[in-house]
Amino acid sequence: MTVLAVVLVCSGVFFLLMGAIGLLRFPDFYTRMHAAGKCDTLGSLLLLTGLACFGGIDLASVKILLIALFIFLTSPTATHAIARSAFTRNVPLWTKERAERQ
Amino acid sequence: MQPFFLATSLIILFAVLLTLYRVIRGPAIIDRIIGVNVIGTKTIAVILLTGYLFNRVEFFVDIAVVYALINFIGALALSKYFERRGVEHKGLTR
């Protein structure tokens, strides 16, 4: 059980770190949101499942699994709402021609 | 097991530091919103790791539940507000 928890926590931390690097390096808003939304959801889901595996089955681990379910539902919703508000307000997209022109 | 939790928390805090650069230097307001949302999700993991570090998970897990709720509602409210008000973007020209 502990080995499974350590593997889950390490993979979750890997995804969170890759999401942070993507948020730092990508050129425009929509690609940054692509990195942030997906890597953040999967990484925190793996990390919270691993943390719930540590203590065995008790009330705290059930609550941690409920937090993981909540994040799995709400993090894509929040990402979608922010991307929608950017798209309705005409935030420009990155294209190769525009990047070469500047 | 405590050094493992400490090392995991430090790696997550390093990722928060990388995201904080995007929050401070983000070209538009909407980059800052997504950065704050990502930092809030990472903070939930750090709160739970702190609970395991101090052997008090059953107290810290309630704080993590409240933080997840506040993070979601804050992101929704900010996106609705800036959808109505408009976002200024100076980095790329249309």
Query: Residue A101 domain-assigned?
Result: no
Whole-angstrom distance, CA of residue B91 vs CA of residue B94? 10
For the stretch A2-12, pLDDT in tens is 899 999 999 99
Yes or no, beta carbons of A85 and B80 under 8 Å apart: yes
Range 24-43 of A in CB contact (< 8 A) with B: 24, 28-29, 32-33, 36, 40
A102 membership: H or E segment, kind and range? none
Structure pTM?
0.88
Q: For residues B85 and B78, what is the distance between their CA atoms, to the nearest angstrom? A: 10
Q: One-letter amino acid identity for B41? A: T
Q: For residue B93, what pLDDT band results from cuts at 50, 70 and 90?
A: very low
Q: What is the pLDDT of residues B23-43, one digit of tens each?
A: 998 788 888 999 999 999 999
Best mutation target among A89, A93, A95, A100 (most B Cβ atoms within 10 Å) is A89
Q: For residues B56, B57, B62 and B67, what is the CA-based torsion angle, rounded to 10 degrees? A: 110
Whether B62 has a pLDDT exceeding 60, the answer reads: yes
Range(s) of the domain holding residue A31: 2-91
Report the complex ipTM: 0.87
| Mean pLDDT, rounded, of chain B | 88
Q: Is A80 within 8 Å of chain B by CB?
A: no
Q: How many domains does chain A have?
A: 1
Handedness of CA A58, A61, A67, A69 (dihedral sign): negative
User: What secondary structure does DSSP assign to chain B, as a single string?
Assistant: -HHHHHHHHHHHHHHHHHHHHHHHH-SSHHHHHHHHHHHHHHHHHHHHHHHHHTT-HHHHHHHHHHHHHHHHHHHHHHHHHHHHH-----SS--
B50 within a domain of the structure (yes/no)? yes
**Total structural domains within chain B:** 1
Q: Residue A97 falls within a domain, yes or no?
A: no
Return the pLDDT at B45: 93
- The predicted pLDDT at position A100 comes to 77
- 3-class secondary-structure state, position A58: coil
Q: Sign of the CA dihedral A53, A54, A60, A66?
A: negative
**pLDDT per residue over A42-99, tens digit each?**
999 999 999 999 877 889 899 999 999 999 999 999 999 999 998 888 877 888 777 7
Q: Write down the pLDDT at residue B5.
A: 93
Q: Which domain holds residue B60?
A: 2-85
What per-residue confidence (pLDDT) applies to B88? Answer: 67
Answer yes or no: is A99 within a domain.
no
Q: Residue by residue, what is the 3-state secondary structure of A69-90?
A: HHHHHHHHHHHHHHHHHHHHCC
